[in-house]
Structure 1
Amino acid sequence: MPWRSRQGRRSARRRRGAAGDRGVQLHPWSAHLGSRTRRVGPARTTSWSVGEGRRRTRENASVPLLPSIDEARAILLAAVTPLPTTDIAVTDALDLVLAEDVVAAHDVPVFANSAMDGFATRAAAAGSHLRVAGESRAGAPYPGTVAEGEAVRISTGAALPAGADGVLQLELVDDDGDAIVLGEAVTPGRNVRDAGSDLTAGTVVLRSGTRVGPAELGVAIGAGRAAVRCAQRPRVAIVTTGDELVTAGDALVPGQIHDTNGPTLAALAHRCGAEVAGVGHVGDDLEATRGVIAQALEAADLVVLAGGVSVGRHDHVKPALSDLGVRELLWRVALRPGKPTWMGERDGTLVLGLPGNPVSAYVTFLLFARPALAALQGGDPTVPRTTAALGTAVPRHPDRDECVRVRAAADGTVHPTGPQGSHVLSSLVGATALAIVPRGEGELSAGSEVVLEPV
């Protein structure tokens, strides 16, 4: 997604005011400001300083005690203020979270109808000869009443005529056009869908807090709803950083790589029901980084930054956030990949700084941004985890839990997808889950049970 139209393009302020070769792509975040409802939650004091806790390594050297995955997730979720709710057309509600119960306005089906193409008759024995009195089609019901000795030709979904008890499918009927012979008995209710057999008028068919998927969308429409009340769709601004990144498809020169994080994180945000307010890139320049983040903060409910959150001389994200008054909630997690993850908040806008390596960015988005986006919509941020046995032994990290990309085998065991480096984005292709391998010495043996986080 482009950050702005050509007409809205502005020059980035450069260090000392001079134009340089470190490009910055800016999005017209101001285009989003008029419709955005700001949320300012209560002041919160939850934060995690790595200096507050210490533990001993096996060499008895004191090292900072970092929060676990679940502790870090809880810290971020504590800073979430759910977005306001609004009425939205059902057809636009896909992936949003309901803020009300949906009650059926009428029975579904509204009328008894046929489950088969065939003939509607009164209860009758096999071998009965019946006169064909007419036809009931979908949208054009038979207007009369079925009498003894009569049958009505009927289509699947068509209204069951008055007087009829059941339907015998075409393949069990000897049909000569004006009369039929039943090949089997017609008993009351045979091949009939009763009124209200799916939904009953006045009953709750979807609960508040339900995420609207394709099935829920169909149920809401079937229940008679044209609009539903949902939380506003959260806006996500994505900023990738680094002089080495170039746009997809551009020719590479030595030292350059294609920016995979921007499009990948945008796709994940869309999958979480978010609106992507903009995706852009800024080079390794403090002033430019500060300018782009300032715009993002005004346009989004969640700002996701990829890269630049460590402590190298070219990592400018943390000082830029500090300059802009973003309150740090957490920096660094006992996680591999993803240790340098940064979390913060300013005036109700969440900020998530992810490591630049593509697997690290992907994994930390799933672990932290996904539940935060659910909570912003008033939904349940709990991720439905499962367990499985390892099909092969995997090494353990002594100080950090590791999210190993795995795929499930036919026997239910899970196996690493291949090399697990934080730069190996292909390790996510075909992955069915992240296996959380707990920190410890040596390796986790085959057959050990692991917790699975969905991907």
Structure 2
Amino acid sequence: MSTETAAAAAAEVAAAPPAGWEEARSRAYAVGLAAALPAVDRPLADADGHTLAEALTTGTDLPAFPTASVDGWAVRGDGPWRVVGRVLAGQSPSPLTDDGTTTEIATGAMVPEGTTAILRIEESTRTADGRVQGTPRPAPEWRNPGEEAYAGEELLPAGTPVDPAVIGLAASCGRDRLRVRRLPRAALLVFGDELLTSGPPGAGRVRDALGPAVPAWLRRYGCQVRPADVIGPVADTLPAHVAAVRGALATADVVCTTGGTMRGPVDHLHPTLAALGADYVVNTVAVRPGFPMLLARLVGDDGRVRFVAGLPGNPQSAIVALVSLVVPLLAGLAGRPMPVLPQAVLAEPIPGRGDYTHLALVRWDRAAGTLHPLRHVGSAMLRGLAGADGFALIRPGTSGEAGARVPVVPLPLTAGERAW
């Protein structure tokens, strides 16, 4: 497609009205789910951060055999009991065949067949002839087979994020590997000749804050991003943009771009998408800050679906676009459920933005369940974002009054914390 044709095609979509924020979020999730990434087998040690591609079931009862809950004596019949053996965890004991006999038993050990009770070690004494005496508690002091789960029972559904607890559960079931969705690969293209990649801003040029930051956000949301996948600044020409996007799409499932989402003289993203034959999933969203943003879908010659997410150049707006479009897209690609937004109470009023959704930076006091608006929240500012726990969602046509309960778009605060 020629430069003139690409520009004309891009102009045709410019008049489309912006999508509502919740509609745009739903669209992004739906196209991601339709293009869910293939399932792969991973050893347990390499499964953290992935998503179950199939339900986790157990092939045996859990526990698989009656297991002592305490250290003590497995007894049969009434005491005092004659000691006939000892069983430790990992051993297979001989049965208790005679009344009045006992086997010393350790926590976690298999309970011998014929056991009628377990007497705790601290509640037992020995007779002069070496027998064991005491009164067992009335409740059984062991775990029965199937107490946690029966063989074949579904423990977790497909779409469950894999974390250390899931890995431990899988191991307890005897699993060595898990069937999970492949992690999405992401790339970042930074647009803007005015950007500096090192040193302080000055002389009309500003420091690129998104090139270093967005890959870290993407990793926290479950993407693989290599240093080589971050490219820019890309020259402000259409051929350079087309070449950069085409190159990134060769290996990435999702290509994020920063800047160039407007229709200015050096904004080439829309003509680039037209030149590459992309279809818009979302072309602008009625949200403040964050306008304009976009999500486009491309199908490669190999039939694989890839996506381009256009993030605005202003830093806070870019992160709004990330949580609005990229995060639900990634959830769909991973085969996870649509992220459900928690709710909390506004401690102070937050104004609405007329017909637009307002995503307002807030600190979230989780103990009190309250949201506190922050200062320094201009779309070009990062100071407020650095101290934020997420965004309070103020819907179009409303104003957030103090005491109102509103949805929260949370931010991942640490590398080990899940985003949703």
TM over 0.5: yes
Amino acid at match of 1:110: A
**Counterpart Cα distance in 2 of 1:400 and 1:315:** 24
8 Å contact 2:345–2:369 — kept in the other structure? yes
Residue 269 and residue 146 in structure 1: after superposition, are their counterparts in 2 closer, same or farther (change >3 A)? farther
8 Å contact 1:284–1:314 — kept in the other structure? no
Per the TM alignment, residue 139 of structure 1 is displaced from its structure 2 partner at its CA by 1.4
What residue is the counterpart of 1:167 in the other structure?
118
Aligned length: 387
**Counterpart Cα distance in 2 of 1:194 and 1:295:** 58
8 Å contact 2:26–2:328 — kept in the other structure? no
**Counterpart Cα distance in 2 of 1:423 and 1:155:** 63
Amino acid at match of 1:200: Y
What residue is the counterpart of 2:4 in the other structure?
none
Q: Which digits, 9 at most, give the CA deviation of each residue in 1:72-124, with x for residues without a partner?
A: 22333454432453340242333333333333211121111112233322365
1:188-227 alignment, distance < 5 Å: 190-227=140-177
**Counterpart Cα distance in 2 of 1:105 and 1:97:** 20
Amino acid at match of 2:39: T
Unaligned runs of 5+ in 1: 1-47, 53-64
Per the TM alignment, residue 384 of structure 1 is displaced from its structure 2 partner at its CA by 1.0
Residue 302 and residue 121 in structure 1: after superposition, are their counterparts in 2 closer, same or farther (change >3 A)? same
Amino acid at match of 2:200: L
1:322 has 2:271 as partner:
no
1:445 has 2:419 as partner:
no
8 Å contact 1:123–1:186 — kept in the other structure? no
Amino acid at match of 2:284: R
1:98 has 2:52 as partner:
yes
Per the TM alignment, residue 429 of structure 1 is displaced from its structure 2 partner at its CA by 4.4
Amino acid at match of 1:346: L
Calculate percent identity across the aligned residue pairs: 31
1:7-406 alignment, distance < 5 Å: 49=13, 51-52=15-16, 65-80=17-32, 81-83=34-36, 85-91=38-44, 92-122=46-76, 129-145=80-96, 147-174=98-125, 179-182=131-134, 184-187=135-138, 190-247=140-197, 250-252=198-200, 254=202, 259-276=208-225, 278-286=229-237, 287-347=239-299, 348-380=305-337, 382-406=338-362
**Counterpart Cα distance in 2 of 1:324 and 1:212:** 36
8 Å contact 1:306–1:355 — kept in the other structure? yes
Q: TM-score, normalised by structure 1?
A: 0.75
8 Å contact 1:123–1:185 — kept in the other structure? no
**Counterpart Cα distance in 2 of 1:370 and 1:243:** 28
Q: Which digits, 9 at most, give the CA deviation of each residue in 1:415-444, with x for residues without a partner?
A: 224432224434344544421012347x53
Amino acid at match of 2:22: D
**Counterpart Cα distance in 2 of 1:129 and 1:394:** 74
Per the TM alignment, residue 175 of structure 1 is displaced from its structure 2 partner at its CA by 6.5
8 Å contact 1:282–1:288 — kept in the other structure? no
Residue 263 and residue 130 in structure 1: after superposition, are their counterparts in 2 closer, same or farther (change >3 A)? farther
**Counterpart Cα distance in 2 of 1:66 and 1:397:** 14
**Counterpart Cα distance in 2 of 1:235 and 1:322:** 23
Residue 169 and residue 417 in structure 1: after superposition, are their counterparts in 2 closer, same or farther (change >3 A)? farther
Per the TM alignment, residue 273 of structure 1 is displaced from its structure 2 partner at its CA by 3.2
8 Å contact 2:191–2:236 — kept in the other structure? no
SS at match of 1:394: coil
Residue 420 and residue 140 in structure 1: after superposition, are their counterparts in 2 closer, same or farther (change >3 A)? same
Amino acid at match of 2:69: A
Residue 438 and residue 170 in structure 1: after superposition, are their counterparts in 2 closer, same or farther (change >3 A)? same
8 Å contact 1:121–1:146 — kept in the other structure? no
**Counterpart Cα distance in 2 of 1:285 and 1:411:** 48
Amino acid at match of 1:82: A
Per the TM alignment, residue 131 of structure 1 is displaced from its structure 2 partner at its CA by 4.1
Per the TM alignment, residue 134 of structure 1 is displaced from its structure 2 partner at its CA by 3.1
Per the TM alignment, residue 321 of structure 1 is displaced from its structure 2 partner at its CA by 3.0
Unaligned runs of 5+ in 2: 1-11, 300-304, 412-420
- What's the C-alpha RMSD, in Å, of the aligned pairs? 3.0
**Counterpart Cα distance in 1 of 2:288 and 2:401:** 19
8 Å contact 2:19–2:283 — kept in the other structure? no
Q: TM-score, normalised by structure 2?
A: 0.81
SS at match of 1:234: coil
Residue 161 and residue 417 in structure 1: after superposition, are their counterparts in 2 closer, same or farther (change >3 A)? farther
Residue 116 and residue 359 in structure 1: after superposition, are their counterparts in 2 closer, same or farther (change >3 A)? farther
Per the TM alignment, residue 161 of structure 1 is displaced from its structure 2 partner at its CA by 2.0
8 Å contact 1:90–1:221 — kept in the other structure? no
**Counterpart Cα distance in 2 of 1:164 and 1:339:** 71
Per the TM alignment, residue 67 of structure 1 is displaced from its structure 2 partner at its CA by 1.5
8 Å contact 2:377–2:383 — kept in the other structure? no
Residue 428 and residue 119 in structure 1: after superposition, are their counterparts in 2 closer, same or farther (change >3 A)? farther
Residue 135 and residue 259 in structure 1: after superposition, are their counterparts in 2 closer, same or farther (change >3 A)? farther
Per the TM alignment, residue 378 of structure 1 is displaced from its structure 2 partner at its CA by 3.0
**Counterpart Cα distance in 1 of 2:57 and 2:242:** 48
Residue 166 and residue 263 in structure 1: after superposition, are their counterparts in 2 closer, same or farther (change >3 A)? farther
Per the TM alignment, residue 359 of structure 1 is displaced from its structure 2 partner at its CA by 2.3
**Counterpart Cα distance in 1 of 2:225 and 2:124:** 58
8 Å contact 2:92–2:110 — kept in the other structure? yes
Amino acid at match of 2:91: A
Amino acid at match of 2:360: V
What residue is the counterpart of 2:368 in the other structure?
411
Residue 144 and residue 122 in structure 1: after superposition, are their counterparts in 2 closer, same or farther (change >3 A)? closer
